[in-house]
């Protein structure tokens, strides 16, 4: 048994690789550059280039499980279902897909991959995390460090920001569970917080005032298009943020225990551990 981890150097894949390795489970990392940190083996793999789909199976003929990470939007998603079908012919029995809290089966490209796993009759799990805690150190890093601002269209709505380490733990469990889960799971952090409350935690950690700028959904859409996201996807993304203001994430957090994985790591812990990056 070998587990193929796509999304090579990504936020959850890199943690998952360490978690599986620590449990003595064989893994292979798929990344565009074909590189992974020691001691992991890696192969060149690109969702946009189906000629690379065979590389993992040439490198290791015992791959039987795959962790699927693909950008929420973008041309890559169109190739994933073909890879799933191909991987099945190579002996893969189980797929674990990283999707998102507000994306149900059949909805948007990621939801179409989710639906394909259901329709294929394979062993599967779909992880639907809410917003990552790590976004404050990635997409929001420059704004916080250089302008002392976070921003969103979530107004005062609350959500259970989740650590990528907890998502990796959910992926570990979904990949190794016997029997296979064969369902989707919402993935949350342990507590509901608004962006204002996170800004207050950041302020206390860095010793200066960090402000949460409350944008309208339309303003957020314009910000995302200014980053180069096509208009259609910018609209979907800003709309998802707007739904936080409408308590949608709070309602999702309150689903029954069998429908969710609730991680242990708090936003406060994440901020304390990583505070240096926001100090200018």
Ligand X SMILES: NC(=O)c1ccc[n+]([C@@H]2O[C@H](COP(=O)([O-])OP(=O)(O)OC[C@H]3O[C@@H](n4cnc5c(N)ncnc54)[C@H](OP(=O)(O)O)[C@@H]3O)[C@@H](O)[C@H]2O)c1
What residues make contact with ligand X under the rule CB under 6 A?
A: 7-12, 31-33, 45-48, 69-72, 76, 98, 100, 129, 131-132, 135
CB of 179 to ligand X, least distance (A): 26
- Nearest 5°: CA angle at 173, between 21 and 72? 95
Specify the residue for token string 């674990």.
Answer: 96
How near is the Cβ of 135 to ligand X at its closest, in Å? 5
CB of 110 to ligand X, least distance (A): 6
* Least gap, CB of 72 to ligand X (angstroms): 3
Q: Which is nearer to ligand X, 64 or 76 (CB)?
A: 76
Identify which of residues 15 and 122 has a Cβ nearer to ligand X in the complex. Answer: 15
Nearer to ligand X, 37 or 208 (CB): 37
Least distance from ligand X to the Cβ atom of residue 182, Å: 21
Angle subtended at Cα 30 by Cα 26 and Cα 32, rounded to the nearest 5 degrees: 160
Residue 11 or 212: the one with the smaller Cβ distance to ligand X is: 11
- The nearer residue to ligand X, 10 or 190, going by C-beta atoms, is 10
CB of 143 to ligand X, least distance (A): 15
Residue 48, classified by CB atoms within 10 Å of its CB into exposed (0-12), middle (13-18) or buried (19+), is: exposed
Q: Cβ contacts of residue 235 below 8 Å, gap of 6+?
A: 221
Least distance from C-beta 178 to ligand X, angstroms? Answer: 26
Residue 21 or 209 with smaller CB distance to ligand X? 21
Q: Which is nearer to ligand X, 72 or 210 (CB)?
A: 72
């Amino acid at each position: 048994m070998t587990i193929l981890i796509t999304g090579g150097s990504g936020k959850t894949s890199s943690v998952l690789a360490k978690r599986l390795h620590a449990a003595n489970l064989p893994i292979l990392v798929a990344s565009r550059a074909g590189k992974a940190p020691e001691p992991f083996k890696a192969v060149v793999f690109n969702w946009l280039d189906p000629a690379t789909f065979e590389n993992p199976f040439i490198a290791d003929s015992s791959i039987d499980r795959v962790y699927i990470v693909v950008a929420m939007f973008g041309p890559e998603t169109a190739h994933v279902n073909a890879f799933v079908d191909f991987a099945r012919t190579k002996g893969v029995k189980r797929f674990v897909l990283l999707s998102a809290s507000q994306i149900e089966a059949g909805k948007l490209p990621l939801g179409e991959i989710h639906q394909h796993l259901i329709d294929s009759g394979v062993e599967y799990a779909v992880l639907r995390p809410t917003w990552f805690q790590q976004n404050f150190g990635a997409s929001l890093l420059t704004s916080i460090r250089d302008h002392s601002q976070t921003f969103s269209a979530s107004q005062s709505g609350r959500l259970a920001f989740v650590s990528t380490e907890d998502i990796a733990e959910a992926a570990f469990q979904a990949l190794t569970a016997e029997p296979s889960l064969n369902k989707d799971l919402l993935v949350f952090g342990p507590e509901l917080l608004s962006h204002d409350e996170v800004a207050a935690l950041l302020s206390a950690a860095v010793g200066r005032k960090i402000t949460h700028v409350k944008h309208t959904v339309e303003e957020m859409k314009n910000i995302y298009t200014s980053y180069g996201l096509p208009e259609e996807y910018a609209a979907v993304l800003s709309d998802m943020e707007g739904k936080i203001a409408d308590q949608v994430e709070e309602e999702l957090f309150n689903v029954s225990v069998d429908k969710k994985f609730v991680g242990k790591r708090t936003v406060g812990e994440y901020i304390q551990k990583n505070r240096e990056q926001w100090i200018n």
